[in-house]
Amino acid sequence: MGTSQVYVYAIVHAGRGLPPEARGVGRPPASVRLLPVGELAAVVSDVPEDLRARRRDLMAHQDLLIRLGADAPVLPMRFGMVAEDTRTVAEAVEAAAATHLAALERLRDRTEMNLKVSPAQCGIESLVRADAELRRMLTDVRRRPSYEGNVRLGQAVADGLTRRATQAVEEALPRLTALADGFVRGPEVPGCVLNGSFLVPAAASERFRAEVERTAAAHADQVELRLTGPLPCYSFVPQDGAEPAPPARARAEHAMTGS
């Protein structure tokens, strides 16, 4: 096996092909190849000389993963995963082969859908109508305008919108999770009451989208919903042993922070 560094995109079953004219990160886009490791294979390419988290490369990384996952399960790597050489990749994949195979089986015929939910700003009027305390605060501010009064009123309105949006989300979640084989809450996103990812079977994807649309329509004055997908199943891959050795992680983080 070679000694030059390699960029790692994903882990897949051995014996599968790559999408036609598959290309990776870099300019010009790197040629992508399979690195067989027993029953598995790593999808890799050479490392661009100036690897950075540029939009074009982030999109190239994700687009390749989406194409790979169109007809077979894929364990995606995060952007910027670089290993010292192919031997390092092969050893890491082989060491966690059982975990990888189990994860690939779980992801078969499934995709990740991400849902972000934020309070609907158009709901302020209905919020005030339904909240006697807000109506009192609004009357006080109009009678005795002050900076402090406006700040308190603004915070109370923001809290009320967030509270109603959270209630709407908690009501809708059981219906959405019933259509999925997995659900995880992601990192907090400013302005959002939910950043959640769902592992959705292909057979239920249209019903899942329809339920999101129904929820958006039924709670239009409470929440704004943004559904993204299909996505690579980042949120549902094993956290231990799913990626190359720690030196590769450190190098990837260096590449990301250098952008």
How much is the pLDDT for 247?
35
- Of 81, 29, 20, 34, the closest CA to residue 57 belongs to 29
The residue ranges of every structural domain in the chain are 6-96+238-257, 111-234
Instruction: Flag whether pLDDT at 255 surpasses 70.
Output: no
Size of the chain, expressed as the number of residues it contains: 259
Residue 254's pLDDT band (boundaries 50, 70, 90)?
very low
Candidate from 39-48, 131-140, 181-190, 198-207 with smallest mean pLDDT: 131-140
Candidate from 39-48, 83-92, 246-255 with smallest mean pLDDT: 246-255
Instruction: Flag whether pLDDT at 12 surpasses 90.
Output: yes
How much is the pLDDT for 237?
85
pTM summary value: 0.77
* pLDDT, mean over the chain: 83
Instruction: Flag whether pLDDT at 187 surpasses 50.
Output: yes
Average pLDDT over residues 135-150: 76
How much is the pLDDT for 256?
29
**What is the architecture, at CATH level 2, of domain 111-234?**
2-Layer Sandwich (3.30)
Per-residue buried b or exposed e for 25-39, using 16+ beta carbons within 10 Å of the residue's own CB:
bbeebbebbbbebee
